[in-house]
Amino acid sequence: MSVELRWFPQSFVQLRTEELTMHIDPSMASTFLDIVRLSFPPHGANAKLPPGIGPGGLVLVTHPHPDHLAPGTASLLTGKDGIVLAPESCRRKLRGHMSAVAPGDRRTVRGAEIRVVETYNPEGTRRMTYHPRGTGVGYLVNIGGVTAYHAGDTGLIEDMRTLGEVDVALLPIGGRFTMDIAEAAEAAEIIAPRTVVPMHRLRADAQRFRQEVERRCGSEVRVLGPGEPLGLGGRDGDNKI
């Protein structure tokens, strides 16, 4: 079964098959002004979706920061029958319209197998204030025979060694609140996915990240433009549609 992935800044991802559409981290906040605007009520004001994106059956949220969760955008995506999985820290923003998840949880929703994993900034790093352990989660999702890892906002953590086989890893590289280029390249080496898509880039040079990953391991790096589709197949199939 073919799976199509689309990315939008910062970390908004769509995974789609013929049977299911899934969205992760629904927010179109890509600038500091966007983040400030979404940090204050009404959160749903001026909510919008990217061209060609409509309601899907499932929304996953990694943490409540406004560049990852815009409640108005999440509401547009879920429609009447959508399902939202999010950590408890998101409940105030989602006003109860969610099912709480925590690292270690496993869910099967409309044919998608979802494993909730850790994501945080390790102690002793200057990023600890932003993403302490217990606030956010990452997701390991099997959809259409493709295993995708969405790391959320995270530092380089030992938990990445326990993910198992990954077809596509979405890794933050921006460095100010997450892994920087060198750390994300090391994460790619540890995880060993077939494909890596950099996200939460901020001002990081995605092409330099590509070079660093290709120097360290055999993963292919795909630097996507906003909304650019990437076709994926499982490990027994071709990686492009």
Q: Identify which has the larger pLDDT, 2 or 128.
A: 2
**pLDDT, average across residues 200-229:** 96
CA torsion sign, 196 to 52 to 25 to 64?
positive
Give the pLDDT score at 78.
87
Q: 75-100: per-residue pLDDT in tens?
A: 889 877 789 999 999 999 887 679 99
DSSP code for 122: P
Q: 16-36: per-residue pLDDT in tens?
A: 998 899 999 999 876 555 555
- From the list 66, 75, 76, 10, the residue with the least C-alpha distance to 41 is 66
Give the pLDDT score at 239.
42
**pLDDT, average across residues 204-229:** 96
Q: 104-154: per-residue pLDDT in tens?
A: 999 999 889 999 999 998 875 555 457 778 899 999 999 999 999 999 999
The answer to pTM > 0.75 is yes
**pLDDT, average across residues 197-208:** 96
What percent of the chain lies above the pLDDT cut of 90?
Answer: 64
CATH architecture of 3-224: 4-Layer Sandwich (3.60)
192: buried, middle or exposed (CB in 10 Å: 19+, 13-18, 0-12)?
middle
**pLDDT, average across residues 156-181:** 95
Residue 240 has pLDDT above 70, yes or no: no
